[in-house]
Amino acid sequence: MAVVAERAFTSRSTLQRVEAGDASVSIGIYAGVLQALGLLEGLGQVADISNDSVGQALASAQLPKHVHLKRRTGPSHDG
C-alpha cells in the first residue's frame, strides 16, 4: 500500500479512501492510482459510448421513428 501511494503521489489515507470508492477524492488522484497500478489506459474507456449499451439504447429510443421530407414544388434542376 505504501508503494502504490508513493507512486501515485498521494498519502496512504487517501489511497484507502480511493479503495473505499470515496466520491470526494479527485479524479486526478484516481488517475494517479490507476497509473501506479498500470491500469491508466482503462480510464479512457469509462466515457466511451461504444461501451455503454444502455446509453446507446436510450439514445436510439429518442430518435424519431419516421422522417417526412418536404417535397419541392416547381421545375426539377436534376436534368
Report the domain count for the chain: 1
CA dihedral 36, 39, 40, 44 (to 10 degrees): -160
Q: Is 29 helix (H, G, I), strand (E, B) or coil?
A: helix
| 77 inside domain | no
Over residues 15-55, the pLDDT tens digits come to: 999 999 999 999 999 999 999 999 998 888 877 888 888 88
| 49 inside domain | no
CA–CA gap between residue 78 and residue 39 (Å, rounded):
57
| pTM summary value | 0.58
Q: How far, in Å, are 21, 53, 69, 76 from residue 35 at the CA level? A: 17, 27, 51, 62
Which distant-in-sequence residues (6+ apart) come within 8 Å of 35 by Cβ? 7, 8
| 21 inside domain | yes
Domain coverage including residue 4 = 1-42
